[in-house]
Structure 1
Amino acid sequence: MDMDPNEHRSQAGFPVDQPLEALKADHAFVKQLFERYTTTQDKQVKEEAGPRILELLEMHANLEETVFYPAVHDVDASLVDHSEQEHQEARQMMEQLKGMQVGSPEYDQMMVQLRDSIMHHVQSEEQSLFPKVQQAGMDMTQLGVQMQAYEASMVTSEARATDKRVS
């Protein structure tokens, strides 16, 4: 299974002129993975999807917290602060999941909680924050370039870490 968490975007890679579309693509992809995890009884599918969900969420959260939220904070500070708070709650659940056996009843239950929390978060971002960012007249390409650069450095450092583990 290819581990590039961004393969769900077009082969063109990060749409620098439409950074919100890139975030929405992440949202749609993680939703699909949650769907796959929560609707199967297949242990192998769960063992692939579970860690994959956590990895994607972590990269996505890092991208939003490091580049996107600071860039759009002034558009609506309370909305952004609320989003960051939701990230913290999700991270706590993700930490707990990392210590559990994938596919165990406890893991499954926590995964459903995480899914519900993330779906609520996604809805609030896509219906409230993104439209405000869109209307704020920001330079979307500049934001997109910063997000792309951050993501590229994240993927590179992740690859290096993987190389070290393998060798």
Structure 2
Amino acid sequence: MGHGGNVVAELKADHREVEEMFGRIKAMTTGGQELRDMVDEVTIELVRHSVAEEQYLYPAVREQLADGDRIADKEIDDHSRVERMLKQLEGMDTGDTSFRPLLQQLMDEVTAHVRDEENNLFPMMERACTADMLDDLGDKIRRAKAMAPTRPHPAAPSSPTASKLLAPGAGLVDRARDFVTGRGKS
């Protein structure tokens, strides 16, 4: 990812990319390594996207929107549920009878989160922020995604400060593991 533009354009492009991956997953009739590779790709993108939102978008939501604390807390709770599902899927064999139902639950949860952000949160941020603020947030999101972890870490602190301190190190370790194993290279 890393599409350019303001924060809304950047995050919407990420959403379309994940939706396209979901479509490819739904079209798969078999499991095995092909499905594992696709789920790994989705995991990488969702984790990077979530970390970047938690570091920069949600703090801006708290500052710029009248009900920003409640909105940001709800979005972070959504991310926590998704991250726990990703962690479960990471440890499961694709042939496990509970793999596909959990994967469908993940896709449903992410799809609802995307719809909520695009229909509610993003328009509120576009009204509340200047174009320069939205552009600056887009730049910060792109930089954060480049350094973010690629694997779910549901036990990691979710505060923006802790994430900014810990995510680059976790991201480096995750990317090294991915390089050695070939994960995410399909």
TM-score range normalised by the length of the shorter chain: 0.7 to 0.9
Matches of 1:111 and 1:161 in 2, distance apart? 26
Describe the SS at the equivalent of 2:41.
Answer: helix
* Native 8 Å contact 1:19 1:143 kept in 2: yes
CA contact (8 A) 1:46 1:103 kept: no
Work out whether residues 47 and 103 of structure 1, in 8 Å CA contact, stay in contact via their aligned partners in 2.
Answer: no
Do the aligned residues in 2 keep the contact of 1:50 with 1:102 (CA within 8 Å)? no
Separation of aligned partners in 1, 2:107 and 2:139: 29
CA RMSD after TM alignment? 2.3
The letter for the 1-side match of 2:86 is: M
TM-score, normalised to structure 1, is 0.81
SS of the equivalent of 2:57 reads: helix
Deviations 1:32-65 (A, max 9, x none): 1112112211335313211111111111111111
CA distance in 2, matches of 1:56, 1:163: 13
Identity %: 28
CA distance in structure 2 between the partners assigned to 1:137 and 1:164 by the alignment: 39
Please list every run of at least 4 consecutive aligned residues from structure 1 whose deviation after the TM superposition is greater than 6 angstroms.
Answer: none
SS at the partner of 1:73? helix
Name stretches of at least 5 consecutive residues in structure 2 with no aligned partner: 150-170, 182-186
| Higher mean C-alpha deviation, range 70-79 or range 58-67 | 70-79
Pairwise mapping of residues 51-130 of structure 1 onto structure 2 (< 5 A)? 51-74=40-63, 75=65, 76-130=68-122
Report the Cα distance in structure 2 between the residues aligned to 1:29 and 1:41, rounded to whole angstroms: 21
Under a length normalisation based on structure 2, what TM-score does the superposition of the two structures give?
0.73
Q: Which amino acid aligns with 1:71?
A: A
Instruction: State the alpha-carbon separation in 1 of the partners of residues 95 and 45 from structure 2.
Output: 18
Q: Tell me, in whole angstroms, the C-alpha distance in 2 between the residues paired with 1:112 and 1:62.
A: 22
Secondary structure of 1:105's aligned partner: coil
Who is 1:10 aligned against?
none
Does the 8 Å CA contact 2:51/2:144 hold for their aligned counterparts?
no
Cα offset for 1:28? 1.0
Unaligned runs of at least 5 residues, structure 1: 1-5, 7-12
- Count of matched residue pairs: 154
CA distance in 1, matches of 2:23, 2:175: 31
Partner of 1:9: none
- 1:102 Cα deviation from its structure 2 partner: 2.3
Asked if 2 retains the 8 angstrom alpha-carbon contact of 1:30 and 1:53, the reply is yes
1:92 & 1:160 partners in 2: Cα distance? 20
